[in-house]
């Protein structure tokens, strides 16, 4: 059990240490580590964790780490994964807090951060493309995608509204497809 907890901590500490740009930038790294390298979740499960993590209080990456850790080793696993994902940031921020203000106005620091932001955009886009390929599987999911995209662009709602609405639509579509299957 301790070995598995240590594995969760180290894996998520690696994810936390390699992520720049916030929780969304962490998504492709989580996908690679959790799905491809460790096999702790499928692409679909990870997408579900992201969705739940988005509409619950807290940071999406921390919430996702907690879900995965809990699934692997119960509450101790959730704690180990959560501590792992925040540990690198805690250490780095603690070290930089005293000196960041002095360096933030340097031209090369500004350019470095501008480059990092571009890289983060690409990483997020890559994660979106991978999730899109798994999520849009038929006409109803494509329609739901378009409706939510338009809603997200045009309305100022919490992401939780879209996630709950999409969940309800998924339930309704499932009920309707069962009825069609029974009557056919």
Query: Domains of the chain: which residue ranges?
Result: 2-135, 136-184
Q: What is the pLDDT of residue 20?
A: 66
Q: Which of 21, 103, 18, 31 is nearest to 64 (CA)?
A: 31
Q: What is the pLDDT of residue 182?
A: 60
Q: What is the pLDDT of residue 21?
A: 61
Determine the length of the chain. 184
Using CA atoms, how far apart are residues 12 and 85, in angstroms rounded to an integer? 5
Using CA atoms, how far apart are residues 113 and 93, in angstroms rounded to an integer? 16
Q: How far apart, in Å, do the first and last CA atoms of the chain sit?
A: 51
Q: What is the pLDDT of residue 10?
A: 93
- Burial code (b: 16+ CB inside 10 Å, e: under 16) for 91-105 equals eeeeeeeeeeeeeee
Tokens at residue 130, please? Answer: 């991978």
Q: What is the pLDDT of residue 17?
A: 84
Q: What is the pLDDT of residue 26?
A: 74
Q: Which of 160, 158, 2, 25 is nearest to 85 (CA)?
A: 25
Q: Please give the radius of gyration of the chain, using alpha carbons only, rounded to the nearest integer.
A: 19
Using CA atoms, how far apart are residues 100 and 78, in angstroms rounded to an integer? 32
Using CA atoms, how far apart are residues 151 and 142, in angstroms rounded to an integer? 14
The label of the residue with tokens 């739940």 reads 52
CB 43 within 8 A of CB 31: yes
pTM for this entry: 0.61
pLDDT per residue of the chain (184 residues) written in tens, 0 to 9: 889 999 999 999 988 887 766 666 777 888 888 888 999 988 888 888 887 877 777 777 888 889 999 999 999 999 999 999 999 888 888 887 777 777 777 888 888 888 888 888 887 888 788 888 888 888 888 999 999 999 989 998 888 888 888 889 889 988 888 877 665 5
Q: What is the pLDDT of residue 157?
A: 85
Using CA atoms, how far apart are residues 64 and 48, in angstroms rounded to an integer? 9
Q: H-helix or E-strand containing 60?
A: helix 60-96
């Amino acid at each position: 059990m301790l070995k598995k907890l240590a594995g969760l901590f180290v894996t998520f500490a690696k994810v936390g240490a390699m992520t720049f740009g916030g929780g969304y930038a962490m998504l492709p790294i989580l996908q690679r580590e959790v799905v491809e390298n460790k096999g702790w979740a499928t692409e679909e499960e990870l997408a579900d964790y992201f969705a739940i993590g988005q509409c619950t209080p807290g940071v999406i990456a921390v919430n996702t780490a907690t879900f995965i850790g809990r699934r692997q080793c119960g509450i101790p696993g959730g704690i180990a994964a959560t501590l792992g994902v925040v540990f690198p940031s805690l250490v780095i921020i603690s070290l930089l807090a005293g000196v960041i203000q002095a360096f933030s106005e340097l031209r090369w620091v500004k350019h470095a951060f501008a480059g990092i932001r571009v890289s983060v955009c690409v990483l997020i886009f890559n994660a979106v493309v991978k999730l899109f390929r798994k999520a849009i599987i038929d006409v109803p999911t494509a329609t739901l995608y378009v409706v939510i995209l338009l809603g997200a662009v045009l309305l100022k709602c919490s992401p939780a509204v879209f996630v709950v609405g999409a969940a309800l639509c998924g339930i309704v579509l499932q009920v309707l497809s069962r009825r069609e299957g029974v009557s056919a």
